[in-house]
Structure 1
Amino acid sequence: MAEGSGAVPDPGDEAVRLLTELVGVDSVNPGLVPGAAGEREVVDLLAARLQRSGFATTVVPAPGDADRPSLVAVPSGPPAGPTLVLNGHLDTVGVEGMAEPFAARVDGDRLHARGAADMKGGVAGLVVAAEALVAAGAPVRPVLALVADEEDASLGSEAVVRALPDLGVHPAVCLVAEPTDLALCRSVRGFAVVRVALPGRAAHSSQAEQGVNAVAHLGRLLVAVEERAAAVRAAGGDLMVTVARGGTSPFVVPDAAECLVELRTTAEQDAATALDVVRGLLDPAWRASAETVMHRDGWSLDTDGPAADLAARLGASLGTGATFDAPYWLEAPLWQAVCPTLVCGPSGGGLHAVDEWVDLRQVRRFARALVEVLSGGPARAD
């Protein structure tokens, strides 16, 4: 626990205290809001605290950007048991429209602030639980991986995953504390973004027959996407155009148009197939080109093994089960590539909105359950 504490505090109450500190730090992602503060200050705060609590800390910069740090904290001394990575992200989305985004306001069991639910409540629970486990000599090695840039391009987790072997960290299982209302996450949808460029030929709009209207082709593509979307949604995914542009001025037949087509995939689908889906909607007469801007595969909880066993034990302590299917993407697939992974954390409401809040009862329950369950070590983790 923090330096200078006397009796070991209740993990739930300590998690709420730390949460209040964390939301007071501006860590808006500069990849989303140019010029925003980023994660440096919150990393410094947590590194100092964890060093006092007996952890060796390493700051891991994002590739090519030392101002986008992530933090890995490893208990000092020889491993006390199997290694469990406790993962959370430190960045938040922007604060436009929020009067006092970094001032914690408590209203009953709700704490309002930017990042309260997404996901500094989960981070607070992870940090306090790890401190308590180390202080108690629990038979598990809790390693904290607190990362930058989850809300944008996942630069932090990708850098930390690459760094772990050099830090002597070989995890048996990973817990990602994204907000799930304390349910265990059963699946995560993947996604892909495809850019479509539609060429035309400019002409004076009074002589439109001499040109080729790229915006007209774009309109036909928009209709085709909407028509296909119903079947995609029925199968558990989604399909839509999220950005569209074309033309430069009045009185000119537009000679170019483009759009971004977004496909949400089920956990079982390969997100890279989005390019084929979009190409299948293009009329060859349009001479359009399509390219994948980015894609991420989905994820599902293992049905057996260390993550499934730990999920069952954590769910039993929390009184929840594997009932949450995340409609959005989160970083579990990146961690699953390293070790079996599960997702569970405290939540609230207003994620990415001006009225974000976290349920303090869930923050307390989460921290207490982690200490209770992990004091015996994650089942079958070796």
Structure 2
Amino acid sequence: MSMTTTMQTTTTWDVAQLTAELVSVDSVNPGLVPGAAGEEPIVDLLASRLGQASFTVTVVPARGRGGRPSLIAAPPVTGDGPTIVLNGHLDTVGVDGMTDPFVPRTEDDRLYGRGAADMKGGVAALVVAARRLVSAGSPVRPVLALVADEEDASVGSEAVIAALPELGILPDACLIAEPTDLALARSLRGFVVVRVRFPGRAAHSSQAELGVNAVTHLGRFLHAIDERSADVRARGGDLMATLVAGGSSAFVIPHQAECLVEMRLTPEQESGEAMDEIRALLDAAWGAEVELVGSREGWSLDEEGMAARLATALGERLGTHATFDAPYWMEAPLWQQVCPTLVCGPGGGGLHAVDEWVDLRQLRTFTSALVEVLQNWSVDDRP
């Protein structure tokens, strides 16, 4: 970890302007697009900006993945109020099909560009809100945790979470500003990704009876997945095959085949249940091998405690409620292991698409609401 601290200088802190500045920095995740820029340029920009605002900035390299950086920016401790981590990710998906993805463009109340909604707008809102809170002498200590690699393997948040105790930062709650159209997230689904391999025996296709067709077994398994998927979906999950391969050439009975199976889990389900469900679809005669590729647990907003109270206060200010059940995964389960966590942020459209944009009205509303709620937070509200 490296640490820098500088004195405050005059800087413009307009949330739309900062969003545009962040969009102009290429931070495509190299785990998704080999050779992509990664997070270092945007970490450098934000480290300089926050250092000028009297934050102590710690750059946290991830273990592996080339040491890709995240940052923690902490203001001085001025009282005994709660510490709130404000979390967002700095990486984006790729830019295939986009024209000038890093040239921010504003039309009416939409700011276009890669990462505008997912989630450089949310990051800008957190940065501006934290700076305003510190300038106003807020009873809450806002600690920024701006991380790498959320779009892939979450090595940034894992490294930052491990670094917090070393820095003496013990958060009372965490707010993740992922795009939710200002609604509070009520839950998000977990997932399991499994590789299933089918062995066969090669033979000339003119004598098919001498071989064992691995692709045939794969096809029967895919049919079983398709038949089972409706029941899984009715229970709030999802089940599908997302990648298949098999065989070696024409005129040869396939001696091997494999597929990737993805199962989305309700917040109540554990990854072991998904593995059992997938194995139950396999015929023992196929001799298939099942390998867990990756998994993440789901998450639900606490019904009581710090995150629930913050969610209520923020929702009242925004005129929204905890109604958003995210069908996809976010990093809330990682942060929930550290402290009570909530998810709320400005939305837009075109996430992961060629026409991504953030709603500037939501962006400004969210920033102001977050400042107001945390500025008025009572010291007595610490758990």
Residues 1:223 and 2:223 aligned together: yes
Residues 1:188 and 2:159 aligned together: no
Runs ≥4 residues deviating over 4 A: 77-80
Query: Using a 3 Å threshold, how does the CA distance of structure 1 residues 330 and 263 change in structure 2: closer, same or farther?
Result: same
Partner of 1:304: 304
Partner of 2:381: 380
Query: Using a 3 Å threshold, how does the CA distance of structure 1 residues 258 and 211 change in structure 2: closer, same or farther?
Result: same
The structural deviation recorded for 1:381 is: 2.5
Kept in 1: contact 2:8–2:51 (CA 8 A): no
What's the Cα RMSD here? Answer: 1.3
Q: 3-state SS of the aligned residue for 1:292?
A: strand
Q: 3-state SS of the aligned residue for 1:275?
A: helix
Partner of 2:4: none
Residues 1:367 and 2:373 aligned together: no
Partner of 1:3: 9
Kept in 1: contact 2:8–2:54 (CA 8 A): no
Determine the C-alpha separation between the residues in 1 that align with 2:199 and 2:352.
Answer: 36
Determine the C-alpha separation between the residues in 2 that align with 1:230 and 1:141.
Answer: 47
Determine the C-alpha separation between the residues in 2 that align with 1:55 and 1:79.
Answer: 16
The structural deviation recorded for 1:376 is: 1.8
Determine the C-alpha separation between the residues in 2 that align with 1:98 and 1:27.
Answer: 15
Query: Using a 3 Å threshold, how does the CA distance of structure 1 residues 79 and 93 change in structure 2: closer, same or farther?
Result: farther
Q: Which amino acid aligns with 1:148?
A: A
Cα deviations across residues 315-345 of structure 1 (Å, max 9, x unaligned)? 0111111010100000000000000000000
The structural deviation recorded for 1:380 is: 2.5
Point out where structure 2 has 5 or more consecutive residues left out of the alignment: 1-6
Determine the C-alpha separation between the residues in 1 that align with 2:362 and 2:9.
Answer: 26
Determine the C-alpha separation between the residues in 1 that align with 2:294 and 2:77.
Answer: 41
Partner of 2:235: 235
Q: Which amino acid aligns with 1:358?
A: V
Alignment of 1:175-214 (within 5 A): 175-214=175-214
Q: Which amino acid aligns with 2:181?
A: D
Alignment of 1:41-56 (within 5 A): 41-56=41-56
Cα deviations across residues 233-280 of structure 1 (Å, max 9, x unaligned)? 000000000001000100000000000110001011112322111110
The structural deviation recorded for 1:27 is: 0.1
Count of residue pairs the alignment pairs up: 376
Kept in 2: contact 1:200–1:214 (CA 8 A): yes
Q: 3-state SS of the aligned residue for 2:164?
A: helix
Q: 3-state SS of the aligned residue for 1:156?
A: helix
Kept in 1: contact 2:29–2:94 (CA 8 A): yes
Q: Which amino acid aligns with 1:28?
A: V
Provide the TM-score with structure 2 as the length reference: 0.96
Q: Which amino acid aligns with 1:181?
A: D
The structural deviation recorded for 1:79 is: 4.7
Q: 3-state SS of the aligned residue for 2:68?
A: strand
Kept in 2: contact 1:208–1:253 (CA 8 A): yes
Identical columns (%): 67
Provide the TM-score with structure 1 as the length reference: 0.96
Partner of 1:99: 99
Partner of 1:19: 19
Kept in 2: contact 1:272–1:295 (CA 8 A): no
Partner of 2:123: 123
Q: Which amino acid aligns with 1:347?
A: G
Kept in 2: contact 1:275–1:291 (CA 8 A): no
Kept in 2: contact 1:40–1:67 (CA 8 A): no
Point out where structure 1 has 5 or more consecutive residues left out of the alignment: none
